[in-house]
Chain A
Amino acid sequence: DVQMTQSLSYLAASPGESVSISCKASKSISNYLAWYQQKPGEAYKLLIYSGSTLQSGTPSRFSGSGSGTDFTLTIRSLEPEDFGLYYCQQYYEKPYTFGAGTKLELK
């Protein structure tokens, strides 16, 4: 199985700052990488797919980059509603696997 590693479990930042969340695959997955956001009491939300393509409705302050094994989700100028949990997922092959998540907290 492809192991997905999000090196940071927690990340503290303030509104207005920019942050980057990394995700590493145990083998090359081309750009078959998605990012999801979860906020308390809300359903999971797809933010980005194909490594860098914004899902409809995702604010432009979000961006994704990377291919192969290393990927990054960047959020520019954090808004209060951006704080929550972020997961990466590979869909290069089954079983689909997720990273352990990075919790973006308010500093």
Chain B
Amino acid sequence: EVQLVESGGGLVQPGRSLKLSCAASGFTFSNYYMAWVRQAPKKGLEWVATISTSGSRTYYPDSVKGRFTISRDNAKSSLYLQMNSLKSEDTATYYCARHASSGVMDAWGQGASVTVSS
């Protein structure tokens, strides 16, 4: 069974940093592109980042480019999201997701809650 389990969420002050982790199991992690997607309270989904199988290629929307960094450790079947210079608008539940092909995401975690507030 494919499992994605996020961790590392919490309350953080504006301007500070936080790193999310996602532990993957039930599939060959190194064979898949992976992604982070977030959902702000009462809002829709927003794609945050994608990383290639080797980690050599990363993609971000403008809203987080330069502040967020996606990375992976294939030996540990783990995905990470380093979030710097956090803003109140980054408050959201962050989901780890597996890319099936192209931009389709065929497996999702339960999410990690991040609150940016002073």
Contacts and interface: CB of A to CB of B under 8 A. Distances in A.
A98 interface: yes
Indicate the size class of the contact surface on chain A.
20 to 34
Interface stretch (A13-21, A42-50, A61-69): A42-50
Interface of A is mostly: loop
Contacts, number: 58
Interface residues of B, number: 23
A91 to B, nearest CB: 3
Contact of A91 (B43, B97, B102, B107): B102
Given A44-B95, A87-B45, A98-B47, 9 more contacts: A43-B109, A44-B97, A44-B105, A46-B105, A95-B61, A95-B62, A98-B46, A100-B43, A101-B45
Interface of A: 1, 32, 34, 36, 43-46, 49, 55, 87, 89-91, 94-101
